[in-house]
Amino acid sequence: MGSERGHCAIANRPVVNHPAVGGAAAAASSRYPRRMDHLTSPAASIAPTGVDLSALAEPNLTPVLGRYFERSWSHGIGHRLFDTDGKSYLDFANGIAVSALGHSHPAVTKAIHEQVDRLIVPTGAMGYAEPVVRLAVELAGTFPEPLDTVLFLNSGSEAIEGALKLARRTTGRAGIVAFKGGFHGRTLGATSVTSSGMNYRAGYEPLLPGVHLLPFPAVYRDFDGDEKRATAVCLAALHDLVRTTIPAEGIGSILIEPIQGEGGYYPAPAPFLRALRAFSSEHGIVLIADEIQSGYGRTGRMWAFEHAGIVPDVVCIAKAIANGLPLSAIVSRRELQERWGRGAHGTTYGGNPVACAAALAVLETIRAERLVENAAVRGAELVRGLEAIAAEDPRIGDIRGPGLMIGIEFVKHRHTKEPNGALVEALMAGCADAGLLVLSCGRDHNVIRLIPPIDVSPAEVGEALGILDRTLASLPG
Ligand SMILES: Cc1ncc(COP(=O)(O)O)c(C=O)c1O
């Protein structure tokens, strides 16, 4: 089906005039001054090498890893990634929501340099290192009570593994409830609770026993936009599970992404999360929030679960916390980790001092520049701009997500809601050609996710909207 787009109001306009980013928003930008020191950073003088890294990679680099692009990357400055030909791209992908402060952020880079000169090796098994302890204190301060105790690990998957182990040992129950469409990682335990795509699971059976996958309230796709019905149906599935399959007293943990990420950027309705909280408390179940993609200010709150007014028992965090260095964590109340027990879990590299020093710099910057608020304001601007585009293009079925975790679901036509993965693939490629990096997600690969740095400026929001709009307008079907 071809596009029914007429002339779009914002196509071909200079980006600074985009209606979503003028006036008060532009004035507010002075609170988030752009870091001109990027222009004098060593990266700014890197000359293009012209090397085709994909050709170089061919014989030896693994073919296993999936890639959105086959481009060759050279370096990053601020919110731009540069390829080896010297072309610059506005980066709204950020290594999949990792570089929340963009590239070569001066405060983060400085903290890394200083820590590298002081101590690199992880000392967790030997005692304490300052950035690790200080980060635990600062990080704990970002959580509501009673979440006050931090276990550092390396990756998101590892945090999920740890959280599932914590729940099993502290409750003595084997049952795990997770949700269809969820993505929690690729280690075997994390794979067992992941169902956002068949390729993550196929051929790895038998997976972890005791996992029960229930429907997730994907409001637009599965419930025609009816949040109440989505909540009721998915809660009924949970109640049915404990009536017919496993008693509530056999369930050790309920694991959920407050905003489903890889599965399609679906926020769980607040009443659903509140009901899970109540159910878990009633039955002594450990409620685990996977905030690996949604956390750290991205959604306009420090943690996405705050939108629902709940406090999980365990929170898994990773990705953005060290702006690119590998670091993850499990956060819970102290009593839970005391019961888990000394030596019940461990890590060689988790809580590496360099990664922790970077994470401290990220946290200080988020606070100093009020970036959680920036994510909320810029996110609202992005959504307004996207709605203007959608008004002219019936292939946009839904725009959703708080703050700067925005999903745009593409369909053949709004009336049929038939997923349009081919359009999304073409849009991703076209935007990259036009200098904007965006990624897809969703079980049918028909959702574009926008995950800009959380210190994105109004001008960059306008620039991205302009490229998206013009590229979409140029694509048939
Ligand atoms: C919500 C969520 N959980 C877990 C993971 C796994 O993290 P990692 O790739 O660091 O193991 C991811 C990664 O994309 C994620 O988005």
Residue-wise DSSP of 49-86: ----HHHHHTTTS-S-S--S----EEEEEBTEEEETT-
Structure tokens that stand for 366 in this block: 């988020």
pLDDT for the residue numbered 222: 97
| Predicted confidence (pLDDT) per residue in 132-177, tens digit | 999 999 999 999 999 999 999 999 999 999 999 999 999 999 999 9
Is the per-residue pLDDT at 128 higher than 60? yes
Q: Is pLDDT of 20 > 80?
A: no
Residue ranges of domains in the chain: 15-104+370-474, 108-368
Does the pLDDT of residue 44 top 90, yes or no?
no
Mean pLDDT of the chain: 92
- Give the separation between CA 23 and CA 157, rounded to whole angstroms: 43
Closest by alpha carbon to 471, among 16, 88, 11, 63? 11
* Ligand 1 pocket residue status of 266, Cβ below 6 Å: no
pLDDT of res. 139: 98
Q: How many alpha carbons fall within 13 Å on the CB side of residue 398? A: 26
Q: Does the Cβ of 181 fall within 6 Å of ligand 1?
A: no
| Residue 72, pLDDT score | 97
157 Cβ closer than 6 Å to some ligand 1 atom: yes
Instruction: Please check whether residue 325 is in contact with residue 361, taking contact to mean a CB–CB distance below 8 angstroms.
Output: no
Which two three-digit tokens encode residue 380? Answer: 């609202």
Are 15-104+370-474 and 108-368 in the same CATH fold? no
Instruction: Give the pLDDT confidence score for residue 41 in this predicted structure.
Output: 67
Return d(Cα 248, Cα 225) in angstroms, integer.
30
Q: 185 CA distance to ligand 1 centroid (A)?
A: 5
295 within ligand 1 shell (Cβ under 6 A): no
Q: Has residue 413 got a pLDDT over 70?
A: yes
Distance CA 258, CA 340 (A): 25
CATH number of 108-368: 3.40.640.10
Token digits for 287?
Answer: 């409620």
pLDDT, one tens digit per residue, over 107-117 is 999 999 999 99
Q: Cα–Cα distance between 308 and 273 in angstroms, integer? A: 7
For range 384-404, the mean pLDDT: 98
**Mean predicted confidence (pLDDT) in 201-208:** 97
Buried b (16+ CB within 10 A) or exposed e, 267-279: bbbbbbbebbbeb
Percent over 90 (pLDDT), the chain: 89
Asked whether 471 lines ligand 1 (CB < 6 A), one says: no
Q: Is 183 in the pocket of ligand 1 (CB under 6 A)?
A: yes
Task: Work out the average pLDDT over 230-246.
Answer: 98
| Cα 466 to ligand 1 centre (Å) | 30
Residue 128 to residue 359: CA distance in whole angstroms: 17
184 ligand 1 Cβ < 6 A: yes
Give the confidence band of 28 by pLDDT, cuts at 50, 70, 90.
very low
Provide the pLDDT for residue 174: 98
Ligand 1 midpoint to CA 18 (Å):
34
Return the number of other C-beta atoms located less than 10 Å from residue 287's C-beta: 24
Strand 175-179 to strand 211-214: parallel, antiparallel, or no bridges (unpaired)?
Answer: parallel
- Residue 47 has a pLDDT of 86
Closest CA to 312 of 280, 342, 337: 280
CATH 1.10.3470.10 fits 15-104+370-474, yes or no: no
Pocket test for ligand 1, best of 64, 157, 187 (most atoms within 8 A of CB): 157
**Does the pLDDT of residue 21 top 50, yes or no?**
no
Report d(CA 314, CA 334) in Å as an integer.
11
Among 152, 155, 292, say which to mutate for ligand 1: greatest number of ligand atoms within 8 Å of CB: 292
Q: What is the pLDDT of residue 43?
A: 77
Preceding amide of 247 cis, omega within 30: no
The per-residue pLDDT for range 73-121, each reduced to its tens digit, is 999 999 999 999 999 999 999 999 999 999 999 999 999 999 999 999 9
Lowest-confidence region among 41-55, 121-135, 193-207: 41-55
Confidence of residue 477 (pLDDT cuts 50, 70, 90): confident
For residue range 249-288, what is the model confidence (pLDDT) as tens digits? 999 999 999 999 999 999 999 999 999 999 999 999 999 9
